[in-house]
Amino acid sequence: MGDPLLCARAQEVADVPSPALAALITDMRDTMAALFGAGLAAPQIGVPLRVVIFGAPTMPRYPDAGEVPETVLVNPVIEVLDTDEDEAWEGCLSVPGMRGLVPRYRRIRYRGSDAEGRPIEREAEGFHARVVQHECDHLDGILYPMRIRDLKFFGYESVLFPEGVAHKGPASTDPS
Ligand code: NI
């Protein structure tokens, strides 16, 4: 947080598939796995392109998060299906050590393509919808603290959850 690249709009990927895109996705996967994230956006590793990844076979930091399919999403577009919002705790690998209570739309549809250019279109709700909204926000220069309605609910993870993030309850999430 503080890097101008994280506050800028990322550019569409023009060439799908490509060796450069494949290499970027390998870097993103390695980074996400090393930091135990549930998702990552390309600008978070310094690449201003519209690429996000999310989901994992196991997400040890998010035992209550439910199922999120392991996905590479290039040039994503989100359509809101339900304007009702839920608030839940989020963290971000670009805002280490912090958590905030963030409103997100409950139900969305997202479209894009995978790394090979095959179209993806899915409906998502709950944590799945939250992760996608969090990651796609990164592509528009938005970090989750900008979405917090009441900054009383933004703070250090170690203070908010002294027993550890695994005990923060089923409504809580930590996208990236
Ligand atoms: Ni993030």
Give the residue extent of every domain in the chain. Answer: 4-160
Catalytic residue among 67, 135, 157, 163: 135
Query: In which band, very low, low, confident or very high, does the pLDDT at 76 lie, cut at 50, 70 and 90?
Result: very high
pLDDT at 166: 59
Distance, CA 38 to ligand 1 centroid (Å)? 9
Could you give the CA distance from residue 138 to residue 142 in angstroms, rounded to a whole number?
5
CATH architecture of 4-160: Alpha-Beta Complex (3.90)
Classify residue 93 as exposed, middle or buried by CB count within 10 Å of its CB (0-12, 13-18, 19+).
buried
Distance, CA 90 to ligand 1 centroid (Å)? 9
Distance, CA 18 to ligand 1 centroid (Å)? 25
With the CA atoms of 41, 47, 48 and 52 taken in that order, what torsion angle do they form, in degrees rounded to the nearest 10?
-20
Q: Considering the chain, what is the average pLDDT of its residues?
A: 91
157 is annotated as an active-site residue: no
Token pair in block for residue 33: 């796995």
Distance, CA 86 to ligand 1 centroid (Å)? 18
Please tell me what DSSP assigns to residue 28. Answer: H
Distance, CA 4 to ligand 1 centroid (Å)? 15
Query: In which band, very low, low, confident or very high, does the pLDDT at 61 lie, cut at 50, 70 and 90?
Result: low
Which residue did the predictor score with more confidence, 137 or 68?
137
Residue 108's contacts (CB-CB under 8 Å, 6 or more residues apart) are 78, 79, 80, 81, 123, 124, 125, 129, 132, 133
Residue 172: pLDDT above 90? no
Residue range 42-46: mean pLDDT, rounded: 98
Query: In which band, very low, low, confident or very high, does the pLDDT at 8 lie, cut at 50, 70 and 90?
Result: very high
Residue pair 104/129 in contact by the 8 Å Cβ criterion: yes
Residue 170: pLDDT above 50? no
Q: Is 29 helix (H, G, I), strand (E, B) or coil?
A: helix
pLDDT at 30: 95
